[in-house]
Homo-oligomer: A and B are copies of this chain.
Amino acid sequence: MSNPSLLILPGDGIGPEVMAQVRRIIDWFGDKRDLKIDVSEDLVGGAAYDAHGTPLHDDTMAKAQEVDAVLLGAVGGPKYDVLDFSVKPERGLLRLRKEMDLYANLRPAQCFDALADFSSLKRDVVAGLDIMIVRELTSGIYFGEPRGIFEEGNERVGINTQRYTESEIERVARSAFELARRRGNKVCSMEKANVMESGILWREVVQKVHDEEYADVELSHMYADAGAMQLCRWPKQFDVIVTDNLFGDLLSDAAAMLTGSLGMLPSASLGAPMANGRPKAMYEPVHGSAPDIAGQGKANPIACILSFAMALRYSFDQGAEADRLEAAVAKVLEDGVRTADLLGEEGVEPVSTEGMGDAVLAAL
């Protein structure tokens, strides 16, 4: 059997820094665990624009379609704000999601026990929190047509279109129910069915998939605004949340921040199964490119390291090795090793991005 293949796209901002630590960890698994991965690396986002005038070169897109998994750092930065919409760094990321058809974005909002005090929420509200947001990632207002800025009379109008077909809703609902069965067996679906017809269809289809295929899972529905409130009030009421692309964008970011562990949270974007039975997949940290601290060696590489752990589990069938890596990270946190985003405890000196990489390697 040939080695599994991984395409690394460090991207912009702190992307390259955090990815450098992941490279060291990949090497460790190759050396010490005889887990050989064929790693290739390429450009995405602003970095690709700088080199090629496009945020994702066609060759890179083609490579992404062929590998077993993609690991992405982050895209975007103020330097690229002036670019035309069509070549902004984000378009590279969105093209990957769309063309690889990665419709299910799994975003855990998990509170690491050692870090519960970093949350702006009270300890008892977040300690032990472990929810999974399943965000639809290839449709909705992110991709719907018509879209653009048009002349109308003597002024301009900005237009975007929210669009969901039944089958798009069905497949992401299935992902959510499948996940729920392996967790707390509870799904809460969020939309604005009281205001949007696309939300009415969403609610109806999720309910139908539930009734026909997953009646054993507990399903509830909530308006997205109430969902935002409840996430802030008592997030532990949730197990799996399934929602559309745009609501998922806001709700998952809010949930991630609530945990106090933003620099720690990985994500997986999964598509349909490939010939080998495993899903098309891209892994990324939940945090963004953080241009304000980029290049200073301050960034926390753990979210990206844990994204690689997710790749080990979901794409490379190496659940035991994923456990090993996650345990190493947990150990490092318990030992009190902290990057600059995690300061506040009495007498703790921050380690650098590389220092955190060292610590994880040592724990391995």
The 8 Å CB contact of A157, one of B120, B165, B192, B246, is: B165
Question: In the docked arrangement, what's the CA distance between A202 and B149, Å?
Answer: 11
- Report the nearest B residue to A143, measured CB to CB: B195
Q: Return A200 CB to nearest CB of chain B, in Å.
A: 6
Within 8 A of B (CB), among A222-266: 224-226, 228-234, 246-247, 249-251, 253-254, 256-258, 262
Question: In the docked arrangement, what's the CA distance between A76 and B202, Å?
Answer: 20
Chain A, interface size category, equals 35 or more
Contact (Cβ within 8 A) B155 A167? yes
Interface string of A283-296 (1 = CB under 8 A from B): 00000100000000
- A99 close to B (CB within 8 Å): no
Within 8 A of B (CB), among A140-159: 141-142, 144, 147-149, 152, 155-159
- A334 close to B (CB within 8 Å): no
Contact (Cβ within 8 A) A161 B158? no
Copies of this chain present in the complex amount to 2
- Report the nearest B residue to A75, measured CB to CB: B194
Contact (Cβ within 8 A) A149 B233? no
Q: Return A260 CB to nearest CB of chain B, in Å.
A: 9
Residues of B with C-beta under 8 A to A200 = 85, 149, 158
Contact (Cβ within 8 A) A158 B199? yes
Question: In the docked arrangement, what's the CA distance between A249 and B225, Å?
Answer: 6
The 8 Å CB contact of A254, one of B88, B165, B232, B262, is: B232
The 8 Å CB contact of A162, one of B94, B156, B162, B195, is: B162
Residues of B with C-beta under 8 A to A198 = 158-160
Residues of B with C-beta under 8 A to A148 = 197
Contact (Cβ within 8 A) A155 B166? yes
Q: Which of A147, A163, A197, A256 has the most CB of B within 10 A?
A: A197
Say yes or no: A159-B162 contact (C-beta < 8 A), given A120-B121, A120-B125, A228-B250. yes
- A29 close to B (CB within 8 Å): no
Q: Return A241 CB to nearest CB of chain B, in Å.
A: 14
Residues of B with C-beta under 8 A to A253 = 225-226, 228-229
| A interface with B by C-beta (< 8 Å) | 76, 85, 88, 90, 94, 120-122, 125, 141-142, 144, 147-149, 152, 155-167, 192, 194-202, 224-226, 228-234, 246-247, 249-251, 253-254, 256-258, 262, 288
Given A141-B141, A147-B196, 15 more contacts at CB 8 Å? A85-B200, A120-B125, A120-B234, A121-B232, A147-B197, A155-B165, A155-B166, A158-B164, A158-B196, A159-B163, A225-B250, A226-B288, A229-B254, A231-B254, A232-B232
List of 8 A-B pairs having minimum Cβ-Cβ separation, nearest first: A158-B201, A158-B198, A229-B257, A228-B254, A225-B253, A160-B162, A155-B166, A232-B257
Q: Can you name 8 A-B residue pairings with CB atoms under 8 Å?
A: A141-B141, A158-B202, A159-B161, A159-B197, A162-B162, A225-B250, A246-B246, A254-B254
